[in-house]
Amino acid sequence: MSVSSILPDAALWRRRPVPCSNDPMADVMIAVMPFAGHVAPLAAVAEAFVEAGHAVRVYTGRAYAERFAALGAEVVPWQSAPDFDELDLAATFPALRGREGPRQLLANVEHLFVGTGAAQGDDLARAFAARPWDVIVADGLSLGTHLVAERLGTPSVTVSIVPLSMPTPELPPPSLPLLPATGPLGRLRDRVLFAALETFSRGVRRAYDAQRAAFGLPPTDAPLDAAWHSPDLVCASGVPELEFPRSSWPVRVEFVGALAPTGSIRPAPPAWWADLPDDRPIVHVSQGTLNVDPDDLIRPTFAALGRQPVSIVATTGRADAPELPFPALPNAHVAGLVDYSALLPRLDAMITNGGWGGVLAALTHGVPLIVAGGDIDKPVIAARVGWAGAGIDLRTGTPKPRAILRAWRRLCDDPRYRERAAAIGRALRAHDGPREVVAHTLALVERRAADAGARAGASERTQPPVMKARTSSASNSPV
């Protein structure tokens, strides 16, 4: 089926009645990449839209269909776009097999996030043809959302579930774990790196141009970075305290705090929960939910803190695989997942692989961090935590036990880490993230409608007056 036969006339959206304060019901499409770290924050957003009385559809993979259906949303599954198992990406995308570090990041972007863009757009276009939406809301890595919104002209909102990655000459490339430059040499470094990255990412650019063409969009000279956020509105998870200083943003940005500060999963308490002592510090170590090899972070944490007067709570990131391939220590407690709403208030520190959701969850509770960011966006997140003073960046995803022990002792000896984490926690708790996304989204729809109405009125005023035709009759004809 051709794109032109799927997509309706863009004018169809402009003829729709626009939700306003007197008629608050909106038809909202939410697009979510089917990864656990994407689903948790967007599930909170979907729930907020449903609770506010809006009609909500969610476009995502089948693995998470029940999760969103339970919230009261109508699920639109991936069809043309190749659905996948997030724990075995290479089964669907063979080019990802054996990739690590920067090569893994580039391969993920090119083959998974960019390479499925046109097919995502086809799925969404069919959904729009069946029932047009008022606005589409999506996580930033849902490329199909950006393509279909451009094609249709519908309002779109990006919900950034990772640190913002909009480049500026004031800062180093946002995909690199570098701190802001402080002098001429640093700014020269940034210019060189921007040029090198442009060369390094040519394959991704070619893939993006091909996806645009496949979806029937014309070529664009816009930088590749602009493909990952809406030109209308970005609702950014986090707070300015975790962003490097800059003079401006290229689009409207609203910080909304943590979208899922305790996660959205409530597993039953593990059998050892009642035995977790209160008379010693509790340290949580999390390997995340994507690359979950316990040898990367959990094993060295056990080696580092096994003889320290602490209790360790380790999570494997797999509800279906709560066991470790090596023995747990006497002071360690292991589960697949735990209820963060119960655990985080009890923590003294968190050792994490740097997933943005987990970092924000910990900081919301004022918990200082030790971050071992190894791949994808994790090194960048680790650098921001260290820069903000809320934790220690280990600068590797596979730290040695000695490095973890040194970091733990620094957190214990220097109260500034805990003070800074507490300050960022207060800033995060000042937000109600999901409801703020709803409010900002509806305000965008009303602004777009008002702008369209103003343009229509101006067009009518500039039309030349219609002259009435003269009529002739025998009585006024010359003799």
Nearest to 314 by CA among 302, 326, 325: 302
The two structure tokens encoding residue 198:
């442009």
Does residue 104 register a pLDDT over 80? no
For position 317, what pLDDT does the model report?
Answer: 80
Give the phi and the psi of residue 369 in degrees, each rounded to 5.
-125, 150
Does the structure show a pLDDT above 80 at 105? no
Residue 124 binned pLDDT confidence (cut-offs 50, 70, 90): very high
> Does 460 or 54 have the greater pLDDT score?
54
- Report the Cα 68 to chain-centroid distance in Å: 17
- The alpha carbon of 354 is separated from its chain's Cα centroid by a whole number of angstroms, namely 14
Assess contact for 201 and 195: CB atoms under 8 A.
no
pLDDT at 381: 95
pLDDT digits (tens, 9 = 90+) for 272-289: 999 898 889 999 999 876
Percent of the chain with pLDDT over 70: 87
The CA distances from residue 404 to 271, 352, 421, in Å, are 28, 11, 19
Between 8-17, 118-127, 158-167, 266-275, the lowest mean confidence (pLDDT) is in 8-17
For 183, the token pair is 């002098």
- The one-letter code for the residue type at 204 is V
Is residue 2 within 8 Å of residue 30, measured between CB atoms? no
Task: Note the pLDDT tens digit of each residue in 205-256.
Answer: 999 999 999 999 999 999 888 999 999 999 999 999 999 999 999 999 999 9
- Dihedral angle over CA of 194, 200, 202, 208, nearest 10: -80
Mean pLDDT of 396-405: 96
Q: Is the pLDDT of residue 156 over 90?
A: yes
182: pLDDT confidence band, cut at 50, 70 and 90? confident
| pLDDT-derived band at 15, boundaries 50, 70, 90 | very low
Tell me if residue 436 falls in helix, strand or coil.
helix
Number of H helices, E strands in the chain: 17, 13
- The answer, yes or no, to whether residue 461 has pLDDT greater than 80, is no
User: What are the sequence ranges of the domains in the chain?
Assistant: 3-261+432-442, 273-427
Q: How far apart are CA 47 and CA 38, in angstroms?
A: 14
CA 343 to chain centre: 24
The pLDDT confidence band at residue 383, using thresholds 50, 70 and 90, is very high
Average pLDDT, the chain: 88
Give backbone dihedrals phi and psi of 391, rounded to 5 degrees, phi first.
Answer: 175, -170
pLDDT at 21 > cutoff 50? no
pLDDT band at 469 (very low <50, low <70, confident <90, very high): very low
Check pLDDT > 50 for residue 413: yes
Strands 135-139 and 311-315, sheet pairing: unpaired
CA dist., res. 394 & res. 112, Å (int): 28
Tens digit of pLDDT for each residue in 41-69? 999 999 999 999 999 999 999 999 999 99
pLDDT at 96: 84
Instruction: Tell me what pLDDT residue 375 has.
Output: 78
- pLDDT above 80 (res 460): no
What angle, 0 to 180 degrees and rounded to 10, lies between the N-to-C axes of helices 184-200 and 202-214? 50
Q: How far apart, in whole angstroms, are the C-alpha atoms of residue 376 and residue 132?
A: 35
pLDDT value at residue 23:
52
CATH fold match for the domains 3-261+432-442 and 273-427: yes
Q: Is the pLDDT of residue 30 over 60?
A: yes
CA distance 368 to 403: 16
Are the CB atoms for 203 and 106 separated by under 8 Å? yes
Tell me: the pLDDT tens digits for 287-328?
876 667 888 999 999 999 999 999 999 998 877 667 888 888
What integer pLDDT is reported at residue 464 of this predicted model?
Answer: 61
DSSP 3-state of 369: strand
pLDDT digits (tens, 9 = 90+) for 344-362: 999 999 999 999 999 999 9
247 φ/ψ angles, rounded to the nearest 5 degrees: -80, -30
443 CB-near residues (< 8 Å, 6+ apart): none
Give the pLDDT score at 376: 77
- Average pLDDT (161-183) is 90
**155 pLDDT more than 50:** yes
CA distance 122 to 41: 25
In this prediction, residue 477 carries a pLDDT of 39
pLDDT value at residue 471: 40
Would strands 282-286 and 349-352 be described as parallel, antiparallel, or unpaired? parallel
Q: What is the pLDDT of residue 107?
A: 80
CA distance 257 to 265: 19
What is the predicted pLDDT for the residue at 468? 45
pLDDT bucket at 19, cuts 50 / 70 / 90: low
Residue 396 has pLDDT above 50, yes or no: yes
Q: What confidence category does residue 257 fall into, taking pLDDT thresholds of 50, 70 and 90? A: very high
* 3-state class (DSSP) for residue 350: strand
Q: How many residues in total does the chain contain?
A: 479
pLDDT band, residue 436 (cuts 50/70/90): very high
pLDDT of residue 137 exceeding 80? yes
What span, in angstroms and rounded, lies between the C-alpha atoms of 367 and 441? 31
CATH 3.90.1170.50 fits 3-261+432-442, yes or no: no
pTM: 0.86
pLDDT at 25 > cutoff 90: no
- The domain covering 273-427 belongs, at the CATH homologous superfamily level, to Glycogen Phosphorylase B; (3.40.50.2000)
d(CA 47, CA 219): 37
More confident residue, 120 or 462: 120
